[in-house]
Chains A and B, each alone.
Chain A
Amino acid sequence: MSYGAADFLPVSGQRDVHGISRPSLSYLQDAWLRLKANRRALASLYLVLGLLFFTIAGPWIWRVDSAVQDLDQISQPPGVDRAALIVPDYQSWDGAGEAGPLHVVGDATSQSVRLKWDALPGANGHRVYRNIFPVGPELAYGMPLAEFFDNTILYHEDRLDLRPGRYFYSVVALGEDGAVTANYESLTVDVRRVTTLAEAVDRGLIENGDQLAVGDSIELQLHPLGTDYLGRDMLARLMAGARVSLFIGIVAPALFVLFGVVFGAAAGFIGGRVDQFMMRFADFVVALPFLLFMILFKIAFGIGPGESGVMPMLVAMVVLLWPATARLVRGQILQLREAAYVQASQLLGARTNYLVLRHMLPNTLGVVLVTLTFEIPKAIFVEAFLSFIGMGVAPPTPSWGSMSNEGIATMLTTPHELIFPALFISITVLAFNLLGDGLRDALDARMRNAG
């Protein structure tokens, strides 16, 4: 390339001196922008809002009473067939029917299952069992229903708490001494749900008997997430439980964080001996084994009849969990007190109260917010833990923890009773943890830039 003299004339006028001219944002504005850029945190924020909606607005949309028992549908997993056939009223059975190896007479319904069999070879009577699993090599017959010590009666009618689904009936031969032998016959029976007109009216499924006739089919109450071991609607209970779990999970941290802020700010401000003493006290409270003291508190307070036990738990948490925040805030304030700009405004004669508001609060707010977000999942865990060992909210008040506790008993047969509350706990804890991570990152970055 060649250049001429014209190229080497000085440039005139103002050149654009490189500089950074980003608009300056307020502390929280900036943090909010960062949070919005963090997709995981944003998703968890929406999740938290969704949970709050579920808790607050849920019961207005799904207006089923969480305490009402649906006796037709006990421990019902979600999404099962709710159809019920209308059958005539029950009539007793005298064992009439064809002979033959173990078989069902008539239809197997939730009203009754009628079994009839021929005497097993060498039997001195029989015992009838019902199981929800196949008998298998360990000869797990299940629940004994009836026992006959001779071969005169070769039929049995099962009316015991029948649910729609698959049962495995076994008839086992008894030996001469009346003991069970290994000689048995087994039958798989699919029971279908039926109801009578009178029953349907009684349960409020239909207005009166005129609308329907025997042989028609009606739908039972809808339970989108199934029912628990008492036939209560899971969805309604989860909503009611959310109120308890989130109430404790949010209100308790809000209170103890607030107390911690006040305590820490006071210690940081007053300083000197008082500060020393206050912090020693905080150290003591920290050293107490937390869950043990929660349990102690519960016992000491006791739960009267009709009380849910939420309040003692709340009080115990506030009393025991404030020191972490107090230490944090005190540290912040000591740091800020050293900061030059605070001293500068002190020189200008600013009053102490004014200083708190003007400088301390906005700077401490972010840290406190992050702490709060991380304390919420911890509090939810504590509630769940205590309710699980039976030291939390008292039945019948539902909470996610107490629901999990009840669900564990039937875990092997109807896992949904455990899985749903557990899922809600997990999702909530996850959402708050991720949100806390996002908040911390957003505020940290901001602090780093500022410093």
Chain B
Amino acid sequence: MRQGMAWYVCKRLLQGVVTVWFIATATFFAMHNVPGDPLLNDRAMTPAIRANLEARYGLDQPLFNQYLIYLGNLAQGDFGISFTQENRQVNDIIREHFPVSATLGILAVLFAAAGGVLWGALTALYRNRMPDYVIMFLVILGISVPSFVVAALSQLGLVTLNTLVGRSLLPVAGWGSVFHMLTPALVLGLSTMAYLTRLMRSSMLEIIDSDFVRTAKSKGVPPALIFSRHQLRNAILPVVTVLGPQIAVITTGGFVVELVFAIPGLGRFFVEAVQQLDYTVIMGTTVFYGAFLVFMVIVVDLLYGFIDPRVRLQ
């Protein structure tokens, strides 16, 4: 059994590595498919950067050699060098900006998961009554309004609020204190929370009607214990299974939220690189993001196995 688990982890990790290799390859050839020579455009490129690039990527060599060099660099954890900023390593960029994005993302995931489970359970327990209607209406809104609109509107709301109160209750943009994190994390987690609420509600409804909850009642287990021990734990399982893909949603959602709230995260940096067509930074961050997301999905899957004994023990 224990060996089976270890084997499973290895298999998943191996699959993950292959996926990342696929992502890296696709990224490489997509970037080399860019019309014209990216190094030859009108962007101001100092000879220093150019020399640096040529040395590192073997740009004078055939494409396949370049590809091998690129893979070799990646395998050593080297994501490349910037194209527009002299001597700026993508690794440095990631090291500098990713913690910000990660903090924001973790807050948003926590917020979304806690909120989704809570609201979902609540609406299921109050099925077809007022709290259910109100929350489900908000959930439909949360699913239907794009994140950048929520971000913009919440910023507008904050500005109005601060003006009304006459002082700054919460910062409108920027990064630094916990207060800076609250609104963006909330906005970022909102659509995921709405989605999880829906999922939790339907799974909870199924559990409420399930045979084993009936059994628990027939044992005289008090409602609070039935809720925590029998209903909640089983209802959460489907929520956990979608957490992996939802982390991807939150990560990419972070691009927009960081942009709107002027947060110096990797997402904003990535979008700026994309807009400035800084090819090497785009390549590096794409592969980094890809690897991160693939890894997160694996982590969540393993976590699921931990919660659900049927998966853990088989």
Contact = CB atoms under 8 A, between A and B. Distances in A.
Given A384-B146, A412-B156, A429-B144, A295 B274 contact: yes
B48 interface: no
Contacts, number: 113
A284 B145 CA distance: 30
B144 A293 contact: no
B275 A433 contact: no
The secondary structure that dominates the A interface is helix
B259 interface: yes
Listed residue (A299, A302, A433) with the most chain B CB atoms within 10 angstroms of its CB: A299
Interface in B213-253: 248, 252
Nearest to A302: B35
Given A287-B294, A299-B282, A391-B274, A292 B252 contact: yes
B49 to A, nearest CB: 19
Interface string B29-45: 01101110000000000
A388 B140 contact: no
Interface in B123-178: 140-141, 143-149, 152-153, 155-156, 159
B119 interface: no
Interface in B275-293: 275, 277, 279, 282, 286, 289-290, 293
Given A288-B23, A289-B293, A299-B31, A422 B252 contact: no
Given A289-B293, A426-B146, A296 B26 contact: yes
Interface in A381-434: 381, 384-385, 388-391, 401, 404-405, 408, 411-412, 415, 418, 422, 425-427, 429-430, 433-434
A412 B143 CA distance: 25
A300 B30 contact: yes
Contacts of B275: 389-390
A323 to B, nearest CB: 13
A293 B31 CA distance: 11
A434 B30 contact: no
Nearest to B268: A389
Contact of A389 (B26, B27, B274, B290): B274
A38 to B, nearest CB: 15
B22 interface: yes
Contact of A430 (B22, B144, B148, B156): B144
Contacts of B155: 411
B297 interface: yes
A381 B143 CA distance: 10
| Chain A, interface residues (CB within 8 Å), range | 35 or more
B156 A426 contact: no
B256 A289 contact: no
B248 A289 contact: yes
A389 B275 CA distance: 8
B302 interface: no
B148 A388 contact: yes
B52 interface: no
Interface string A289-308: 11111011101101000000
A94 B156 CA distance: 43
Contacts of A434: 140
A292 B152 contact: no
Contact of A418 (B19, B152, B289): B152
Contact of A411 (B141, B145, B156, B293): B156
Contact of B248 (A290, A388, A405): A290
Contacts of A300: 30-31, 33-34
B156 A404 contact: no
A396 B85 CA distance: 30
A428 B201 CA distance: 24
Contact of A289 (B30, B156, B289): B289
Given A299-B31, A411-B152, A433-B140, A381 B290 contact: no
- State the 3 A-B residue pairs at the shortest beta-carbon distance, nearest first: A430-B144, A300-B30, A422-B149
25 contacts: A287-B297, A288-B19, A288-B22, A288-B290, A289-B289, A290-B248, A292-B286, A295-B274, A295-B286, A297-B30, A299-B279, A302-B34, A384-B148, A385-B147, A385-B256, A389-B259, A389-B275, A390-B275, A404-B146, A418-B149, A418-B152, A427-B144, A429-B143, A430-B144, A433-B140
Given A404-B146, A404-B149, A430-B143, 13 more contacts: A295-B274, A296-B30, A300-B31, A302-B35, A384-B146, A385-B146, A388-B256, A389-B255, A389-B274, A422-B146, A422-B153, A426-B146, A430-B144
